[in-house]
Amino acid sequence: MEGTKWADYIGSAPVNIETFTQHRREWSPVFENQRSAIGQIFAAHQPKRIACLGAGYLSDIPIFDFLRAGCQVHLVDWIPGVSRQGFKWSLIRSQGGQYSCQICHEDCDPTRFCAAFREPVKLPHRVCDNFAPSNDEFAWCEAYRQGEEPGFLEADVTAGRATGFAERILRLMAASNSPQQAIRKAITECRKWSTISHPIDLKDDSMDFITSSMVASQFDHEPYAYFVSRLAEKFGEENIQAKRERLEPIGEKLRSDLFQIQIAGHVDELYRVVNKTDGLVYFSVEIFRSVPERTDFFIVHGVPRLIELLSEKFFFDFQTIPPDRTLVQTDVGDGESVTISLLLKPRSASK
């Protein structure tokens, strides 16, 4: 078999200070809305065991509020190292030439979170004696070393379905004589994975609070984009473009099926891991996107089915996040996006 393996593909995602900085700068309005909603839920309910699925760079997660409150936190993402680096690059805040470390705080034990921590804490800065500032736009501490907490877990939050399907793609390509045959084989493979699950390494009913912030929006892109890249790699971009009219309908069928099995696996994992008695799930997703060169919006692919799946396992709580704050419209550079933020309670939960 020839071609880029899924593990190499997902492992090649750029995780560096430049992408972190760009990520924060370009998407800060969306992140701030999610962070505010999650922080509001946290303050109201004070959970102690928290899992953040698809944690990424932690841009929308009030991680230090969790840690300073003594919470046990698990940060889960399938991109190697992204949450570890996001934590490292988020530790330091700089304003007016003064630095402040988010874990050098009287409310917590900094040694739990940084193996390099050394007293005393320097004033007027709030940093430890080992502090070594970087020269980047987002200041960070070059002395930081990972501590015992939070927990970092590299895992597929679709119950392993995205990874399982993607790891079969190269074999499908090798056994196919045309793009049409490859797509049809992929649709069949996708159907197989709709009933297979490889759970995240978190116990059933173990979390008081789970966040899934804008994670499901990514399922429409991967691993479909990986499949399309391998298709072009095997059969040539020109060949595929020449057959575009015939390939588009079955290609859209594959894309839709892939999204469906991923959201189903993700919702199953949310329900499996959350405490069924009084646990909560924060869930946000892009629901509408603006039509180019118009003031109108279209509904994002797969969202109606996603809401249906959530409603099969959860009730919707509009007390903590009132209906008038559920939908938020933001400028995302190439248009306007409307996101929905939901607080979910397992259907088996106590009132």
- From 286, 310, 305, 301, select the one nearest 220 (Cα to Cα): 301
Q: What pLDDT score does 349 carry?
A: 63
> At which residue do the structure tokens 């099969």 appear?
312
Q: Is the pLDDT score of 2 beyond 70?
A: no
Residue 342 lies in a domain: yes
Residue 107 lies in a domain: no
Q: Report yes or no: 213 and 61 within 8 Å, Cβ to Cβ.
A: yes
- Beta-carbon contacts of 39 under 8 Å, excluding residues fewer than 6 positions away, are 62, 65
Residue 256 lies in a domain: yes
- From 351, 201, 346, select the one nearest 274 (Cα to Cα): 346
The DSSP output letter for 117 is -
DSSP 60-84: T--HHHHHHTT-EEEEEESSTTHHH
Residue 314 lies in a domain: yes
Q: What pLDDT score does 124 carry?
A: 67
Residue 249 lies in a domain: yes
Per the structure, the complete domain to which residue 215 belongs is given by 6-79+149-346
CA torsion angle 157 163 166 170 (round to 10): 170
Q: What pLDDT score does 47 carry?
A: 97
Which range, of 2-6, 46-50, 172-176, 241-245, averages the lowest pLDDT?
2-6
CATH number of the domain where residue 31 is located: 3.40.50.150
Q: Is the pLDDT score of 54 beyond 80?
A: yes
Q: Please give the tally of structural domains in the chain.
A: 1
Say if residue 120 is preceded by a cis peptide, omega within 30 of 0. yes
Q: Is the pLDDT score of 231 beyond 90?
A: yes
